[in-house]
């Protein structure tokens, strides 16, 4: 029996280490800005996408989700978990990885860690949406919930929306302290606040990004004055909301994909026919964004598969100039495609 060398059909893999190398190579600000541009581009060609609500496996402690989408040329999916109790055991609440594939062949063309990438794409999406909806002259953002996503939100709103002050609040003061430390020296005035009420004082934008898996009330109606833009990030699965429903009734609500948001977002508190605007309509000009200085705009963000698709596309593009990837031996590649067993035979499997 002859042993022939096997021509490897490898898939570029971006490890956690290499994702950090990529972010380092281009810089966080530029990464967020360019990523938001790709996200905007994909929202702008919304109708091309095959849109499926995510496939979720719920358990008492959390959820594991698969989020696929395709534009007909490329196919992407993300694996992501959400387990709030994980932090008690020194683990991440959210970890993720993703794959981009070629629709014509079905072959994966990129695999990447997406824990860091999801944090960046969530922040880039929030800031992109805010850029279209926030009151003009927005400078100050309240940031309620100072966990793993908080610094990314602060930096995205600085880079993309021109925010120069963040007002932090978390029920855990050590979280606020760490967030403030991480943001020090990055061109933002950072104010640690003793309550959510204090944090929203003077804020043009209010971002909520807490992790409790409950119907919480992070913001009550009296805390939100006219003209504010609310970026509600943390309420993102059934039974997990952050805003009092009175705020929702006063707001113009913008969402990613209604079939998913009505199940997972803040608007799970509202009737199924409550009017919402899809953000792609704002991007393409099919619907107006903010219509007055007094309007309260609300982005009910749950994260949608197209944003991950955009992030995968952006990473694929970055790799051309910054080859921070490894070759993953993921795809069996026999010399003759129908001779899979022959490949085993030639490898000495008898």
**Contacts to its own copies from residues 167-196, by CB under 8 A:** 175, 178, 182
DSSP 194: S
Q: What is the rounded distance in angstroms from the CA atom of residue 169 to the CA atom of residue 175?
A: 9
DSSP 43: H
Contact 116, 23 (CB under 8 A): yes
Binder of its own copies out of 37, 115, 215, 221 (CB under 8 A): 115
Looking at the chain, how many residues does it have? 350
Min dist. Cβ of residue 294 to its own copies (A) = 35
Site string for its own copies, 26-65 (x = CB under 8 A): -xx---------------------x-x--x-x-x-xxxx-
Binder of its own copies out of 4, 30, 103, 220 (CB under 8 A): 103
Q: Which is nearer to its own copies, 46 or 254 (CB)?
A: 46
Site string for its own copies, 10-29 (x = CB under 8 A): ---x-xxx-xx--xx--xx-
Binder of its own copies out of 33, 201, 319, 345 (CB under 8 A): 345
Confirm or reject binding of residue 79 to its own copies (CB under 8 A).
Answer: yes
Q: Which is nearer to its own copies, 70 or 191 (CB)?
A: 70
What sign does the dihedral 201-36-322-99 (CA atoms) show? positive
Min dist. Cβ of residue 122 to its own copies (A) = 11
DSSP 350: -
DSSP string, 230-299: EEE-S--BTTBEEE-HHHHHHEEEEES-HHHHHHHSGGGGS-TT---EEHHHHHHTSS-S---TTPEEEE
Site string for its own copies, 147-166 (x = CB under 8 A): xxxxxx--------------
**Candidates 42, 170, 236, 300; catalytic one:** 236
Strands (E), the chain: 9-14, 50-51, 55-59, 62-70, 74-82, 96-102, 108-113, 140-144, 165-169, 189-192, 205-208, 215-219, 229-232, 241-243, 251-255, 277-278, 296-300, 326-331
Contact 295, 252 (CB under 8 A): yes
- Catalytic-residue membership of 236: yes
Q: Which is nearer to its own copies, 87 or 222 (CB)?
A: 87
Which residues in the 251-270 window bind its own copies by CB under 8 A?
none
Binder of its own copies out of 43, 46, 97, 257 (CB under 8 A): 97
Binder of its own copies out of 32, 36, 43, 81 (CB under 8 A): 81
**Helix axis angle, 28-43 to 16-26, nearest 10°:** 100
Min dist. Cβ of residue 46 to its own copies (A) = 17
Residues forming the active site: 236
């Amino acid at each position: 029996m002859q042993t022939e060398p096997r021509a490897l059909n490898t898939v570029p893999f971006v490890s956690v280490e290499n994702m950090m190398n990529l972010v380092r190579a281009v810089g966080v600000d530029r990464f967020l800005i360019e990523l938001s541009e790709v996200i905007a581009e994909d929202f702008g060609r919304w109708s091309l996408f095959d849109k499926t609500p995510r496939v979720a496996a719920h358990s008492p402690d959390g959820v594991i989700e698969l989020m696929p989408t395709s534009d007909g040329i490329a196919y992407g999916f993300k694996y992501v978990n959400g387990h709030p109790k994980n932090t008690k055991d020194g683990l991440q609440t959210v970890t993720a990885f993703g794959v981009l594939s070629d629709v014509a062949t079905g072959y994966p063309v990129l695999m990447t860690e997406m824990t860091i990438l999801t944090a960046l794409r969530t922040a880039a999406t929030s800031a992109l949406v805010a850029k279209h909806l926030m009151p003009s002259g927005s400078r100050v953002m309240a940031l309620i919930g100072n966990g793993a996503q908080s610094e990314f939100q602060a930096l995205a709103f600085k880079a993309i929306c021109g925010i120069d002050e963040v007002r932090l609040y978390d029920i855990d003061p050590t979280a606020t302290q760490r967030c403030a430390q991480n943001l020090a020296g990055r061109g933002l005035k950072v104010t640690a606040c003793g309550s959510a009420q204090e944090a929203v004082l003077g804020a043009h934008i209010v971002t909520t990004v807490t992790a409790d898996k409950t119907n919480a009330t992070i913001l009550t109606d009296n805390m939100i004055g006219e003209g504010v833009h609310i970026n509600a990030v943390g309420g993102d699965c059934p039974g997990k909301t952050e805003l009092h429903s009175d705020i929702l009734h006063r707001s113009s609500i913008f969402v990613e994909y209604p079939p998913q948001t009505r199940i997972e977002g803040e608007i799970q508190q509202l009737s199924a026919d409550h009017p919402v605007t899809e953000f792609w309509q704002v991007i393409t000009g099919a619907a107006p964004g903010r219509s007055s200085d007094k309007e309260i705009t609300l982005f009910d963000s749950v994260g949608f598969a197209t944003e991950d698709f955009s992030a995968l596309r952006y990473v694929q593009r970055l790799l051309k100039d910054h080859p921070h990837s490894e070759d993953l031996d993921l795809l069996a590649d026999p010399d003759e495609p129908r001779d899979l067993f022959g490949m085993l035979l030639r490898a000495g499997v008898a």
